[in-house]
Amino acid sequence: MKTRNELLSQSVERLRMAKLDTPELDARVLVKYALKLSDAELIGGSDLNVSPDCASGLENMICRRVRGEPVARIIGRKEFWGLSFELGLDTLVPRPETETLIEAALAAFGRGTPRKVLDLGTGTGCLLLGLLSEYPEASGLGVDIAPKAVEVAAANGRRLGFDGRAEFRVSDWDEGVEGQFDLILSNPPYILREDIEKLAPEVRLHDPIKALDGGPDGLSAYRALAAAAARRLAPQGLLIAELGAGQEADVAGVMAKAGLKVDGPARPDLAGIPRALVVRR
Ligand SMILES: C[S@@+](CC[C@H](N)C(=O)[O-])C[C@H]1O[C@@H](n2cnc3c(N)ncnc32)[C@H](O)[C@@H]1O
């Protein structure tokens, strides 16, 4: 039998040999999940023996990581806005830069509250549920074209305690949606179709194509979003949409063509890339 410490250092070494970017961090997360440890247990008790079952579970996880599977896919969950989201095969892994949309919403609404929120292309439900965690008086609807993503989002909503405030539904953008909303959030698919094959294998092989494919010019979903926002925004409502790198001017053009006003410039993410575009009626 091996100790926790031995397994951790062996795991770091295996991931380092595989030339992964963050071997220490990845190994710690995988050891924590495979051995079912709390943060405190991961730090302390490092000379305790690990059962053969747990050790073989960890071995399986390390092999998957060495083959290039993202850590979030291996453990089946990802943190977003301080909440833990379960993933499914049809959901994107929530990205840290998408949190910029929530920051933009907090900045735009200040002490006010968006009472009715719509999340178009909800995936795991991370944007809607993250936003609702900030506004106790808000409620919302998350839609997605992928039925299995909607099931995952609904399960996340229940598990995180948003029953009664968050509803999830299958819909092609706002097709199955009625009424108007104070805030529409969306992180749409925005990768140029011809660029998809150039994406890193971690994305290309593990994120669902419906979450990536922005059509021939990367803007197909923004055209649908602009039309949906023109129909569904309340008079003082805001659309906050995520941008791909370099898309700000093109997306602003799509919004203006639909008769919407852009509150530029877009809010940058932590890497300084314009990321969250705020749009009004
Ligand atoms: C980039 S992912 C974003 C997922 C999630 N909001 C997030 O930020 O992690 C885009 C999402 O849009 C959904 N989608 C693609 N086309 C759609 C459509 N026509 N109607 C509704 N949702 C769509 C995809 O299934 C995917 O879940």
Q: Which two tokens stand for residue 95?
A: 């990205």
Give the end of a domain, one of 29, 58, 75. 75
Q: Which two tokens stand for residue 235?
A: 């008079």
Residue 52 maps to which CATH number? 1.10.8.10
pLDDT tens, position by position, 172-201: 999 989 999 999 999 999 999 999 999 999
Give the end of a domain, one of 75, 105, 131. 75
Q: Which two tokens stand for residue 231?
A: 């129909």
With a 6 Å cutoff on the Cβ, whether 182 touches ligand 1 is no
Tell me which residue range forms the domain holding 22: 4-75
> Coil, strand or helix: which one is 175?
coil
93 and 205 assigned to the same domain: yes
27 and 164 assigned to the same domain: no
pLDDT at 70: 97
40 and 140 assigned to the same domain: no
Give the end of a domain, one of 28, 48, 75. 75
44 and 123 assigned to the same domain: no
pLDDT band at residue 41 under the 50/70/90 scheme: confident
User: Would you list which residues are annotated within the binding site?
Assistant: 121-125, 144, 173, 187-190
138 and 211 assigned to the same domain: yes
133 and 31 assigned to the same domain: no
113 and 65 assigned to the same domain: no
Alpha-helical segments (H) within 233-270: 248-257
pLDDT tens, position by position, 44-72: 767 888 899 999 999 999 999 999 999 99
Pick the residue whose CA is nearest to atom 12 on ligand 1. Answer: 121
Count of domains in the chain?
Answer: 2
User: Can you tell me the distance from the alpha carbon of 117 to that of 108, in angstroms, rounded to the nearest whole number?
Assistant: 14
Residue 180 maps to which CATH number? 3.40.50.150
Pick the residue whose CA is nearest to atom 17 on ligand 1. Answer: 145
Q: How far is CA 228 from CA 15, 27, 110, 115, 256, in A?
A: 45, 43, 25, 18, 14
Pick the residue whose CA is nearest to atom 10 on ligand 1. Answer: 211
Return left, alpha or beta for 19; rule: phi > 0 is left, psi -120 to 50 is alpha, else beta: left
**End-to-end CA gap in the chain:** 64
Residue type, 272: G
With a 6 Å cutoff on the Cβ, whether 101 touches ligand 1 is no
**Residue 248's CB: how many other CB atoms inside 10 A?**
18
17 and 109 assigned to the same domain: no
66 and 141 assigned to the same domain: no
Cβ proximity of 240 and 276 under 8 Å = yes
96 and 68 assigned to the same domain: no
